[in-house]
Amino acid sequence: MMLVLGAGYVGAKLAELALDAGEEVVLADNWYATRRGQLAPLEERGAQIETADIRSRADLARLFSLRPARVYLLAAQASRPIAEREPDYTEETNVAGVRRVAEAAAENGAPPLVFASSLNVYGRELAGEITAERPYGDQGDLAHLTKVYGELCLGLFARRAGFDLAVLRLGIVYGPSRVEHDTPDSQTVVDKFRRLAARGEHLPLDDDGRATIGVVHVEDAARIMLSSPASTGVTFANVAAETITVADVAALIRGEEPAGAPAFTVASPFTYEQTLRDYLRP
Ligand SMILES: NC(=O)c1ccc[n+]([C@@H]2O[C@H](COP(=O)([O-])OP(=O)(O)OC[C@H]3O[C@@H](n4cnc5c(N)ncnc54)[C@H](O)[C@@H]3O)[C@@H](O)[C@H]2O)c1
């Protein structure tokens, strides 16, 4: 059985692929950003849905007593705007909650663990090729600053307790999933632009869309997660199929040829099946 902590956008797709592969799946969430009802199609397919908060030792003890063969830590307060309004909740979940998951793993058979981190740990104003060896950089918000703590804290417990840990630094994830959030604060740029364009609305380009982003289709991200950890020990890898400017995302949506001048490129060891061009083709 695999345990997915955080039954949100990525967690729902991960569970779907795991069920396709015949795996038993437990999906746990405290329904902060996701509604339980959104998981009904996965529950019908046999996924076990649990209400649990990663800030609660008792909830984690209950879930880990199920003896999962692998644990995916995707539960987070992941939104930058919400982090401005709810810094305490962001830290309690992303800092104390992550540490409690690490403790629960260490105390309950040390199952392999996969942590969904972010390319944002490298900081801003990047240039050149971004490999997983690049040091951490300056952070612009608590949702991403806490990823740095999460990575290091899980690494500490993994080494101490001897569990395998794959830290996957995701780019912006796009594409359809059973769980999609309709609040603007929880939408990321690719799907936000796609929805605006579908309604014939203007695509807002801050700083002329010069910002560079790494992007990955949710199916590719979930497939990569499902086969992680792929090696023993503590490993770090980037999960981004393409690196593109926000202006070029808008160009693809309009059916125009992208200018193709990202400020940096993201190196990733995985293979990817989906392209932004195919997804955004008008
Ligand atoms: N989606 C992206 O573009 C992206 C990019 C980089 C990194 N990530 C990371 O990947 C992970 C999954 O992202 P997502 O897009 O599925 O986010 P999401 O918000 O859809 O899923 C996170 C889930 O965690 C739950 N949650 C929040 N606080 C909790 C708590 N205290 N206890 C239990 N559950 C709690 C939420 O209700 C939500 O369902 C996150 O850690 C996120 O930071 C996502």
- For a ligand 1 pocket test, name from 170, 178, 189, 218 the mutation site with the most ligand atoms within 8 angstroms of its C-beta: 170
| Reported pTM | 0.97
Q: Whose CA is nearest to atom 18 of ligand 1?
A: 8
Residue 188 has pLDDT above 90, yes or no: no
Q: What mean pLDDT value characterizes the chain?
A: 96
Residues 158 and 186 in one domain: no
Residues 26 and 120 in one domain: yes
Query: Ligand 1 centre from 269 Cα, in Å?
Result: 23
Q: Is 116 in the pocket of ligand 1 (CB under 6 A)?
A: yes
Q: Are residues 218 and 12 in contact, defined by beta-carbon separation less than 8 angstroms?
A: no
Distances in whole angstroms, Cα of residue 274 to Cα of each of 10, 15, 173, 218, 254? 16, 19, 12, 9, 19
Q: pLDDT digits over 246-280, tens only?
A: 999 999 999 999 998 899 999 999 999 999 999 99
Q: Whose CA is nearest to atom 7 of ligand 1?
A: 118
- Give the per-residue pLDDT at 167: 98
Residues 254 and 158 in one domain: no
- Give the per-residue pLDDT at 45: 97
Measured CA angle at 180 (ends 120, 145), to 5 deg: 20
Q: What is the mean pLDDT of residues 14-40?
A: 98
Residues 233 and 100 in one domain: yes
Tokens encoding 221: 């991200």
Name the domain count of the chain.
2
Most confident of 180-189, 199-208, 270-279: 270-279
Residue 207 has pLDDT above 90, yes or no: no
Residues 61 and 199 in one domain: no
Reply yes or no: is the peptide bond before residue 81 cis, omega within 30 of 0: no
Q: Is 168 in the pocket of ligand 1 (CB under 6 A)?
A: no
Residues 57 and 163 in one domain: yes
3-class DSSP assignment, residue 185: helix
Residues 30 and 138 in one domain: yes
Rounded Cα distance, 165 and 159, in Å = 9
Structural domain containing residue 25: 2-172+216-239
Residues 150 and 23 in one domain: yes
Q: Is 223 in the pocket of ligand 1 (CB under 6 A)?
A: no
Q: pLDDT digits over 117-167, tens only?
A: 999 999 988 999 999 999 999 999 999 999 999 999 999 999 999 999 999
Residues 11 and 141 in one domain: yes
Spatial CA neighbour of 226 closest among 74, 95, 40:
74
Residues 189 and 75 in one domain: no
Q: Is 94 in the pocket of ligand 1 (CB under 6 A)?
A: no
Q: pLDDT digits over 208-248, tens only?
A: 888 999 999 999 999 999 999 999 999 999 999 999 999 99
- Give the per-residue pLDDT at 38: 97
Residues 166 and 222 in one domain: yes
Q: Is 10 in the pocket of ligand 1 (CB under 6 A)?
A: yes
Q: Whose CA is nearest to atom 36 of ligand 1?
A: 33
Query: Which atom of ligand 1 is found nearest the CA of 29?
Result: 34
Assign residue 124 the CATH number of its domain.
3.40.50.720
Q: pLDDT digits over 70-122, tens only?
A: 999 999 999 999 999 999 999 999 999 999 999 999 999 999 999 999 999 99
Query: Residue 78: which residues within 8 A CB-CB, separation 6 or more?
Result: 8, 33, 143, 186
Residues 101 and 232 in one domain: yes
Residue 282 has pLDDT above 80, yes or no: no
